[in-house]
Amino acid sequence: MIEYVRKTMKEIVMFIDKVIEKLNEEQVSLMLDVLENAYRQGSKILVMGAGRSGLVGRAFAMRLMHLGFNVYVLGETITPSIGERDVVVAISGSGRTQLIVTAAEAAKKVKATIIAITSYPDSPLGRLADIVVEIPGRTKLAPDIDYFARQILGIHEPLAPLGTLFEDTALVFLDGVVVELMHRLGKSEVDLRARHANIEL
């Protein structure tokens, strides 16, 4: 029996479909404008997130690289310093993960533009950001402990109702952002393929 597999998949798809209709066009347009300008000016993009949100961020960064962006992921050894011409994309459902909030605070000090992808615009991350794109997902905040502390203590959230919905929705949203940027920048799948890794194990 795969009852729960089907139920979970349907729940996620239905949730994402509802979010699509509720996207704030102004928020998304501002994000797209900033990313497009960063590309044209050769500015650096720093993508960051913790846990599964970090994996979503890595997938987004990979596509930005394929588009020709000067993009990095927080925590990699080759990540350079950033400054006021640069852009930070911070992904956190709760907007409270301490590592991401601290990194955003550092980015704010050097006057980088911060784009927050979060379910909570009024969170610490949301208040730091220059642009907030609200992606619903969590029905309630996790205990008032940051992500890494929860992992150490063995506190895990249920599968679909909380973190999963945000992460899956954020992934689909950011894939949509990539396609919008492809059109704005006049890029095709051939252009992306030309920058795809050609040395793989």
Lowest mean pLDDT among 78-82, 108-112, 126-130, 137-141: 137-141
CB 110 within 8 A of CB 104: no
Cβ neighbours of residue 200 under 8 Å, at least 6 residues apart?
none
Mean pLDDT calculated for residue range 82-108:
96
pLDDT band at 160 (very low <50, low <70, confident <90, very high): low
Model confidence, pTM: 0.86
CA pair distance 194, 174, nearest whole angstrom: 21
CA pair distance 182, 189, nearest whole angstrom: 9
Amino acid letter, 124: P
Closest CA to 127 of 158, 154, 92: 92
The fold of 23-186 is Rossmann fold (3.40.50)
Catalytic residue among 11, 167, 189, 200: 167
pLDDT recorded at residue 174: 98
Q: What's the DSSP call for residue 164?
A: I
pLDDT band at 146 (very low <50, low <70, confident <90, very high): low
pLDDT recorded at residue 38: 98
Does the pLDDT at position 201 exceed 50? Answer: yes
Mean pLDDT calculated for residue range 102-122:
97
pLDDT recorded at residue 176: 97
The domain limits of the chain are 23-186
pLDDT recorded at residue 158: 47
CB 161 within 8 A of CB 139: yes
Strand, helix or coil at 13? helix
Q: Is 36 a catalytic residue?
A: no
Mean pLDDT calculated for residue range 171-189:
95
pLDDT band at 3 (very low <50, low <70, confident <90, very high): confident
Mean pLDDT calculated for residue range 29-40:
98
Average pLDDT, the chain: 88
Lowest mean pLDDT among 101-105, 161-165, 172-176, 195-199: 161-165
